[in-house]
Chains A and B, each alone.
Chain A
Amino acid sequence: MGLSMHDAATSRTKVERTSDVDMVVRRSFDAPARLVFRAWSDAELFRRWWVPASAPVRLRTCEMDVRTGGSYRLEFGEDEGPVHSFFGRYVEVVPNEKIVWTNEESDDGALTTVTFEESDGKTLVTYHDRHGSKEALDEAFEGMEGGIAEQFEQLAAVLEG
């Protein structure tokens, strides 16, 4: 994956590793927070963008009960192929403001916090993954180097083509 393939400097999406265990992604949307929140909390809407149509993976299951104490389950894979599952619970949901969920597919999965901050009709979305340890993030890093990085390359190729 070449560094020049993608112009991070001009992208509207900001990705930062803010510490050994934290990753933050930010972007502003030209809409009020309640609409952006709806796209994050309605499973039918969520599945349309979490896995963009151009992505080389298929989301076969997307179940979300977005309320404090609710749970979610996402399953990726073709009907015949292996299935990769992601699941956890919503530990805090404040409508139009905040969603916090666990990632329980691994023992020390990250805690994810998404906040929606509205100002002048625009909404700043901040997505924050906090890993349990530096080691956990390092492992996520190792994983990235392998299979997932390949998927991103395919994804990038599709997007550029």
Chain B
Amino acid sequence: MVQYSSAALDAAFAALSDATRRGILERLGRRESSVSALADAFDMTLTGMKKHIGVLEQAGLVTTEKVGRVRTCRLGGRGLRAEAAWIDGVQQLWDARFDALDGIVEELKRKEQSDGPEHA
């Protein structure tokens, strides 16, 4: 449902033209990883790995999140991830709503039971 512009596709293909970057994607496909762990795994300097991650991130193939001093990288098809996040957001709203509705319905039930069936 998310349309890629041709510029975005160009960026994605450029990012994928490099064997190391394809290796990074393959690895992130199995599990998320910090930039430093990726640098170790590919026997590269941290700076070199950051450049590769930057290219993949620009292309929308990887997302990163910094928590404290660690930057974690995940596979992130831009559209796929955005859609999952959208559903996640909708889910949270409706969970909160329906939990509150549950409380009100319970309240109505108790009231009806204590008032007796003539008010039902």
Contact = CB atoms under 8 A, between A and B. Distances in A.
Interface of A: 1-3, 5-6, 8, 11-13, 15, 17, 20, 23, 25, 27, 29-31, 35-36, 38-39, 45, 48-50, 52-55, 125, 127, 134, 137-138, 141, 144-145, 148-149, 152-153, 155-156, 159
B35 to A, nearest CB: 18
B96 A141 contact: no
Contacts of A145: 82, 85-86
Contact of B88 (A3, A27, A141, A159): A3
Contacts of B86: 141, 144-145, 149
Contacts of A48: 100, 104
24 contacts: A3-B84, A3-B88, A8-B91, A12-B98, A15-B87, A20-B1, A25-B94, A29-B98, A31-B108, A35-B105, A35-B108, A35-B109, A36-B101, A39-B101, A53-B100, A141-B1, A145-B85, A145-B86, A152-B89, A152-B92, A152-B93, A155-B93, A156-B92, A159-B96
Given A36-B105, A38-B108, A138-B1, A23 B90 contact: yes
Given A3-B88, A144-B89, A145-B86, A11 B95 contact: yes
B51 interface: no
A55 B90 CA distance: 14
